[in-house]
Amino acid sequence: MIAESLPALGSRSGRHDVCVIGSGPAGVTLADALGRAGLSVIVLEAGRSGWDEKSQAVYEGGHFGGPPLLPLSVSRLRQFGGASNHWGGWCLPLDAADFADKIDGIDTAWPIGIADLEPWLPEAVRLLELPDFAAGVAFGDALREVSFRYSPPVNFAHKFGDEFRRSERIDVALDSYVTGFDVEDGRIVHARVRDSGGADRRIAARRFVLCAGGIENSRLLLWANVQSGGRVVPEPAALGRYWMEHPHFTLGHVLLENDFPFEFDEKGTVFISPTAAAMREHRLLNIGLRLHPAKEGVTRRLITELACVAPGLGEKVFRRFGKRLVCGLLLRASWEQPPRPYNRVVLGDKVDAFGIPRTDLHWYLEDFDRRTPSAAARLLGAEFATRRIGRLRLERWLDGLEDFPEDDEIGGNHHMGGTRMSRDPRQGVVDADCRVHGMGNLYIGGSSVFPSTGFANPTLTIVQLALRLADHLARSLARDGEQHGALRVRGEARS
């Protein structure tokens, strides 16, 4: 059932097999899969069923660094369904190369490989209502064309709401803000929950999974560690650290000389990315170069075409009128940042309405964040020149002549890292099973466990990881002597 608060669950708020904290794509996928495996699940959602101004205000926080990201209370949603209430639906699995160290000196390796996630791809594709993915197509030696797929986009609150309301195994309590944990002998025994009236309650479960989001997971654990004297995350060296975004910027434009050899997809985009060998050779991380047809009015197009003959002059004229010169195609990109320990979530000085410190997000773009798009765009330019497709005119900031532009998209609102997966507890927060290092029954779901990001939008990977975690939890609970079987989702058709 779905209850407006914990007390409204009545006797059903007792001990469950799994307590899932958060109801975004990770939490809902996990709860659904666990319920289907016959486990009892309670989902604690801090927000309400829809957008609520007071609840949303809890997400306000600071950003130290630059360039400026969207305000933290805008880029996230604190309500049932979480970020699936406003996501765009763009999906692509991570590359095999994304799980390895791509270049020397930058730690992008995951403790798992693509083979550990691939079994969950068909079910994730089905949940997100995606067409099948196509393999990438080589474009020269260094590049390949890749194809995104688009979810409708699935809203998890709408898709699973009715099912959860009817479910005997899955209980959802709204207005249930987890503010800490009770710990005994390296295990969580209760989640401490506060409602908007300020009443505190405790929820018991055999397993606890934090799926509160790519920033909240870190914030809640940092705060829980403050309260518990470091007993919730006993190995906190990496907690909140290695936080990442996908930088999103316009790199330049393309003056076409011949017919464009690609077909635009349904979003009017062609995606090009480097091969693993090119990343190694040219020392760049993964990137999705996006080519869009320039949408121009007739007059503007004529002026543009003239200006493109003399781009320097054209640029000046267009700048004079506050316009951006676009010749034929717009080249945009989103790419992978190196995981950096100092890009991190910390607890700020201000507190939210519940007395819990707000987020202070430390996030910087550095010189290397220029290197990836700059090197990739040059590879594309060389290939276009070789094939006489056209020529690229790149923005000045790519050469370090200007700062990163602040009037661009800047980030994709893809909040990743902070509780990264690692073999070594000094390098991360969770192990390969997403279990918090040093804790017996505390797990983390969502993009906060990503050790590195590739360039693919994260939701598909989040769902794959949630399905994999559900399988692990079902198996581990079964091993604990319970009568629950392993999760049967691989290739299983649902009614």
Partner 1 sequence: MSRRWLPRWLLVLIGLGLLAALAVAIAGGAWMRKKSAVEGFGERASAREMSAHPAASVRQAFTAPTGEAGLGRAPYDLVGGHLLEGFFAYRGDSPSFAFYPGEPSWHGRRIDAEEGFSRILPFAAAWLAAGGDDRIPTATGTRSLSAALRDGLLSGTDPDDPGYWGRPGRHDQRIVEASDVALGLWLARDTVWPLFDEAQRTRMLDWLRAAAEQHVFQGTWQLFPVLTERVIDYFGGSTGQLRARARTGYERFLASYGGDGWYRDMPRGFDYYNAWGMHYVLFWIDQIDPDWDPGVIRPRLVEFADFFRHLFGPQGVPIMGRSLCYRLALPAPVLAASLIAPERITPGEGMRALDATWSYFIARGAVEQGRITQGICGDDLALLDGYSGPASCLWSLRSLVIAYHAQTRQAMFDAPRQPLPVERGDFVVRAEAPGWTVEGSRADGHIRLLIEANAGAEPAPIRAYGTGNLIREWLAQAPRRPDNGSALYGRPEYSTAAPLSACEIRSQP
Q: CB 273 → partner 1: shortest distance, Å?
A: 26
Q: Which of the stretches 57-65, 202-210, 262-270, 453-461 binds partner 1 when contact is defined by CB under 8 A?
A: 57-65
Q: CB 64 → partner 1: shortest distance, Å?
A: 5
d(CA 438, CA 235): 7
The interface with partner 1 within residues 328-387 (CB under 8 A) comprises: 340-342, 344, 346-349, 357, 360, 362, 364, 366-367
Q: CB 66 → partner 1: shortest distance, Å?
A: 6
**Residue 62 contacts partner 1 per CB under 8 A:** yes
Q: CB 340 → partner 1: shortest distance, Å?
A: 8
Q: CB 266 → partner 1: shortest distance, Å?
A: 40
Rounded to the nearest angstrom, the gap between the alpha carbon of residue 353 and the centroid of all alpha carbons in its chain is 27
**Residue 121 contacts partner 1 per CB under 8 A:** no
Name which position in 14, 66, 88, 312 contacts partner 1 (CB under 8 A).
Answer: 66
Coil, helix or strand at residue 87: coil
First to last CA, the chain: 20
**Residue 64 contacts partner 1 per CB under 8 A:** yes
Q: CB 337 → partner 1: shortest distance, Å?
A: 13
Coil, helix or strand at residue 55: helix
d(CA 191, CA 206): 11
Q: Which of 455, 463, 435, 456 is nearest to 119 (CA)?
A: 463
d(CA 291, CA 335): 14
- Cβ-based nearer residue to partner 1, 315 or 366: 366
- Cβ-based nearer residue to partner 1, 263 or 406: 406
Conformational region of residue 413, where left means phi above 0, alpha means psi within -120 to 50, and beta covers everything else: left
- Cβ-based nearer residue to partner 1, 53 or 349: 349
- Cβ-based nearer residue to partner 1, 340 or 414: 340
Q: How many residues bind partner 1 (CB under 8 A)?
A: 18
Tokens at 469, concatenated: 């975690």
Q: CB 191 → partner 1: shortest distance, Å?
A: 24
Q: Which of 418, 450, 215, 249 is nearest to 331 (CA)?
A: 249
- Cβ-based nearer residue to partner 1, 168 or 406: 406
Residue 232's DSSP bridge partners are none
- Cβ-based nearer residue to partner 1, 80 or 242: 242
**Residue 63 contacts partner 1 per CB under 8 A:** no
DSSP 194-239: E-TT--EEEEEEEEEEE-S-TTHHHHHHHHHHHHHTS-SSS--TTT
Inter-residue contact 446 to 214 (CB < 8 Å):
yes
**Residue 440 contacts partner 1 per CB under 8 A:** no
- Cβ-based nearer residue to partner 1, 36 or 344: 344
Name which position in 65, 140, 230, 236 contacts partner 1 (CB under 8 A).
Answer: 65
Q: CB 438 → partner 1: shortest distance, Å?
A: 23
- What totals of helices (H) and strands (E) does the chain contain, helices first? 11, 23
Q: Which of the stretches 59-67, 72-80, 306-314, 466-474 binds partner 1 when contact is defined by CB under 8 A?
A: 59-67
d(CA 260, CA 328): 10
Inter-residue contact 332 to 251 (CB < 8 Å):
yes
How many CA atoms are closer than 13 Å to the CA of 169, on its beta-carbon side? 14
Binding site for partner 1 (CB under 8 A): 62, 64-66, 340-342, 344, 346-349, 357, 360, 362, 364, 366-367
